[in-house]
């Protein structure tokens, strides 16, 4: 009897986890810079989502295949879902760097950076087609400077 496989596709991806719990005035003033092996993109948030669990795409400049979406959480604060994706070309020892800056004050909100060893992901099971590689980075949170009251509740999980 033959093996039955689902037909779920996948794509290689490096994701940045933890840019969360940001107040509205901070989100719309951010500049996000992500690099893979010194090839970089820059992203900004053009507007806020209209409600909880609604996403708005970031405005992205650069040639890396990137997804960047801002989503409102049920508590009224925002998170940024961010990653670099490729059909082919991600290699172990790729180096990633992320820097999220509150542009008006030049304050670094979050950052990450290191080389990667990808894990294998097979969405249809171990004996079926579609094998992709994935890496997830934890983002480092920085203390919010005293006097920036609109940012006091910002957190990176």
Q: What is the pLDDT along the chain (157 residues), one digit of tens a residue?
A: 466 888 898 888 999 988 888 888 888 899 999 999 999 999 999 999 988 878 999 999 998 899 999 999 888 889 999 999 886 678 889 999 999 999 998 999 999 989 988 999 899 988 888 888 899 888 887 765 544 444 444 444 4
107 in a domain, yes or no?
yes
Give residue 37's domain range.
16-142
Q: How far apart (Å, rounded) are the C-alpha atoms in residues 112 and 41?
A: 15
pLDDT in the model for residue 143: 61
151 in a domain, yes or no?
no
pLDDT in the model for residue 2: 60
pLDDT in the model for residue 137: 84
Q: How far apart (Å, rounded) are the C-alpha atoms in residues 113 and 96?
A: 5
pLDDT in the model for residue 145: 54
pLDDT in the model for residue 149: 40
pLDDT in the model for residue 130: 87
Domain count, the chain: 1
The CA angle 125-128-134, to the nearest 5 degrees, is: 60
150 in a domain, yes or no?
no
Residue 130's CB is within 10 A of a number of other CB atoms, namely 16
Question: pTM of the prediction?
Answer: 0.81
84 in a domain, yes or no?
yes
Assigned token pair, 82 = 């961010």
25 in a domain, yes or no?
yes
pLDDT in the model for residue 152: 42
4 in a domain, yes or no?
no
């Amino acid at each position: 009897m033959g093996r039955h496989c689902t037909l779920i596709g996948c794509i290689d991806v490096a994701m940045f986890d933890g840019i969360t719990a940001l107040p509205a005035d901070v989100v719309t003033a951010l500049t996000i810079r992500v690099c893979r092996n010194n090839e970089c993109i820059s992203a900004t948030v053009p507007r806020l989502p209209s409600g909880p669990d609604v996403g708005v795409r970031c405005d992205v400049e650069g040639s890396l295949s990137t997804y960047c979406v801002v989503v409102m959480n049920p508590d009224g604060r925002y998170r940024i879902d961010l990653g670099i994706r490729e059909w082919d070309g991600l290699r172990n020892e790729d180096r990633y760097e992320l820097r999220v800056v509150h542009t008006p004050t030049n304050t670094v909100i979050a950052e990450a950076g290191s080389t990667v060893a990808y894990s294998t992901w097979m969405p249809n099971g171990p004996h079926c087609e579609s094998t992709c590689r994935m890496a997830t980075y934890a983002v480092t949170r920085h203390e919010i400077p005293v006097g920036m009251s609109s940012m006091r509740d910002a957190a990176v999980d």
